[in-house]
Amino acid sequence: MYQGIAASPGIEIGKAFVLKEVEIEINTANISEEKIDREIKCLEEGIAKSREQLAKIREKAELELGKDKAKIFDAHMMVLDDPMFIDEIKDKIRSERITAENAINQVAKKYIEMFNNMEDEYLKERAADIKDVSVRLIKNVLGIPIHSLADLDEEVIVIAKDLTPSDTAQMDKTKVKAFATDMGGRTSHTAIMARSLEIPAVVGLGSISRCVSEGDTVIVDGNKGVVLVNPSEDILKQYGELKLEYQRFKEEMKKLKDLPAETKDGERRVEVAANIGTPKDVKGALDRGAEGIGLYRTEFLYMDRENLPDEEEQFRAYKEVAEAMYPRPVIIRTLDIGGDKKLPFLEMPKELNPFLGWRAIRMCLDNPELFKVQLRAILRASHYGKIRIMYPMISSVSEIRRANAILNEAKEELRRESKPFDENLEVGIMVEIPSAAVAADILAKEVDFFSIGTNDLIQYTLAVDRMNEKIARLYEPFHPAVLRLIKNVIDASHRAGKWTGMCGEMAGDPLAAPILLGMGLDEFSMSAASIPQVKKVIRSLTYEQAKEIANRALEMENPEEIREMVGKIISEIK
């Protein structure tokens, strides 16, 4: 059994196809002065040929994998078009009087090493791009045919040292059932491609390509990151069953995608939504069956850059999400900066307790001009979909009123400029500070909805820093105080004829779902990956059962008891 990194889920059993790398022989001898021009010409022809091949692969990738994945090949073309990279190769040929393949090899090595030494996992993986392009270029310079997985004549499991993006893009998807490679990590292109093709894959296996021969029977378990070679009949049978079980699980999850999040008896229907950070996350949310966006964390638009995003840029991002989700609702949270999130271009004071400091709405109210730019962008985007605004870190009525006053100014301005926006746009707040949860009945009069941010609500209620792993065990969503606060918020909103959602991580916990459902939570917003499971739990209970679970949980004294009680009920109803 070989243990690697689980890169793409699923189980497959089949015959191995071992992708052999042709040994490239690099002539390291010096060349005579007269041959320099010929080498440069060979290099240029190699570049042209590589470009032609990459354009074809790119086209195929765009058709089969979508625009986003095809961009990898733009990155490859950019390496070929990069004057720094190519001129350095040419200079080497001339000044050191060496062959084109030798020069490519040396320059590529330098860059590969540079990227490999970077801390950032993503940049590290970019070394693979340069390697892929340079090997292609060397082969084209030397006239070595480039192998491909495009014309396999039977179903196989591909075993390779490494699979380059071009290998995966060209491969015949109807024939490749899974793959296993020596190299790669979870963020490698091979892994990303495998996940988007939904092909099980295990990467980072070390030496699997040397241990497997063509035609061996191989099991790839992409759930556990395990590969088995020529297993016994018993193991084969066992994995055959696991494979079927996994397929059934996947089918079941897929079927849930378009089903409503309603209780078994049809008595209660809630909304299951996704949390996103950028417009790019919308596709994943829709694929998993999100009925809306319950939290769009806009601060990502402001981070990792030198200057503030202007109204146009923000408007485009919000509009893109609103249009892609339409007619589903999108809750856009206004800038939640401070705490652990800093902006390089905004002077933020050094604070002893940043999580209790100048953050989110507090900072926005002190910077009305900056805040108004965002509000104007959100309002303008509201014309293109169903947008709701949500203020973070609200602790009192006056903050809501002050934020709304700036929102009204923004609306006035847009009216004067004849710029359309949704006049009926709902405005809500995050309930993530205990004062807001306790005084929810007072705040409910000022808003259209609440969304409970348990990530912060738990840290403030229990006085447990959510970033400090030393006290992580004290960070307890099922603490009676937390459950009571949640119940108080939901009840207060309902009494005022408003609704309550939850966008903290707790909303995506299948164990918390029965309790929250029974308490009357109206909307559950979570990372897209958790949606099917939470939907499944909601659909497997009657509303009466959920209410009973919630009532029992609210009477219990400690979290362990609550978890045990809910866990038992869920396992029984499955």
The active-site residue, picked from 42, 76, 189, 364, is 189
Q: Which of 371, 382, 287, 373 is nearest to 329 (CA)?
A: 382
Non-local (6+) Cβ contacts of 555 within 8 A are none
CB 453 → ligand PEP: shortest distance, Å?
A: 3
Q: Residue 293: beta bridge partners?
A: 274, 330
Please select the residue that binds ligand PEP; options are 101, 221, 426, 432, rule is CB under 6 A: 432
* Binding-site size, ligand PEP (CB under 6 A): 10
CB of 508 to ligand PEP, least distance (A): 11
Rounded distance, CA 439 to CA 442, Å?
6
Q: What is the DSSP string of 304-372?
A: SSSS---HHHHHHHHHHHHHHHTTSEEEEEP---BTTB--TTS-----S-GGGSS-HHHHHHH-HHHHH
- Give the CB-nearest residue to Mg ion: 456
| Site map 432..471 versus Mg ion, x via CB under 5 A | x--------------------x--x---------------
In this complex, which beta carbon is closest to ligand PEP, that of residue 477 or of residue 532?
477
Tokens representing 46?
Answer: 């190699």
Residue 479 appears among annotated catalytic residues? no
453 binds ligand PEP (CB under 6 A): yes
Binding to ligand PEP, residues 295-314 (CB under 6 A) = 295, 297
Please, what sign has the CA dihedral across residues 111, 116, 119, 122?
Answer: positive
Rounded to a whole number of angstroms, the minimum distance from the CB of residue 327 to ligand PEP is 24
Place of tokens 């606060």: 485
* Helix 368-381 × helix 397-416 angle, to 10°: 60
- H helix or E strand, kind and range, residue 506: none
Q: Which stretch binds ligand PEP (CB under 6 A): 145-153, 194-202, 448-456, 549-557?
A: 448-456
**Of ligand PEP, Mg ion, none, which one sits near residue 454, judging by CB under 5 to 8 A according to partner kind?**
ligand PEP
Single out the segment in contact with ligand PEP by CB under 6 A; choices: 153-161, 262-270, 281-289, 450-458: 450-458
Binding residues for ligand PEP restricted to 491-510, rule: CB under 6 A: 503-504
Between 181 and 451, name the residue whose CB sits nearer to ligand PEP.
451
Least Å distance, CB 446 to ligand PEP, is: 20
* Shortest distance, position 273 Cβ to Mg ion, whole Å: 16
Is 426 one of the binding residues for Mg ion (CB under 5 A)? no
Count Cβ neighbours within 10 Å for each residue of 366-389 and write b for 16 or more, e otherwise.
eebebbbbbbbbbbbbbbbbbbbb
**Of 379-387, 433-441, 449-457, 477-485, which segment contacts ligand PEP by CB under 6 A?**
449-457
Catalytic residue, chosen from 42, 76, 364, 503, is 503
3-state secondary structure 142-164: HCCCCCCCCCCCCCEEEEECCCC
423: helix, coil or strand? coil
Closer of 299 and 544 to Mg ion (Cβ): 299
Q: What are phi and psi of 64, to 5 degrees?
A: -90, -30
- Identify which of 498, 465, 506 has the alpha carbon closest to the alpha carbon of residue 482: 506
503 is annotated as an active-site residue: yes
* Shortest Å distance, C-beta 299 to ligand PEP: 8
Is the Cβ–Cβ distance between 15 and 177 less than 8 Å?
Answer: no
- CB of 360 vs Mg ion, minimal distance in Å: 8
Alpha helices (runs of H) in 463-530, residue ranges in sequence order: 480-495, 513-519
- Binding ligand PEP by CB under 6 A: which of 116, 196, 223, 455? 455
Of 291 and 432, which CB lies nearer to ligand PEP in the complex structure? 432
Pick one of 336, 399, 509, 523: the residue that binds ligand PEP (CB under 6 A).
Answer: 336
- The option from Mg ion, ligand PEP, none interacting with 162 (CB < 5 to 8 A, set by class) reads none
Residue 366's contacts (CB-CB under 8 Å, 6 or more residues apart) are 358
Of 141, 75, 74, give the one whose Cα is nearest residue 105: 141
Q: Which is nearer to ligand PEP, 325 or 436 (CB)?
A: 436
Q: Judged by CB under 6 A, does residue 527 bind ligand PEP? A: no
| Minimum gap (Å) between residue 530 Cβ and Mg ion | 18
Q: How far, in Å, CA of 551 to CA of 167, rounded?
A: 56
Query: Is residue 162 close enough to count as binding Mg ion by CB under 5 A?
Result: no
Residues found near ligand PEP in the complex (CB under 6 A): 295, 297, 336, 432, 453-456, 503-504
Q: Annotated catalytic sites, by residue? A: 189, 503
Residues found near Mg ion in the complex (CB under 5 A): 432, 453, 456
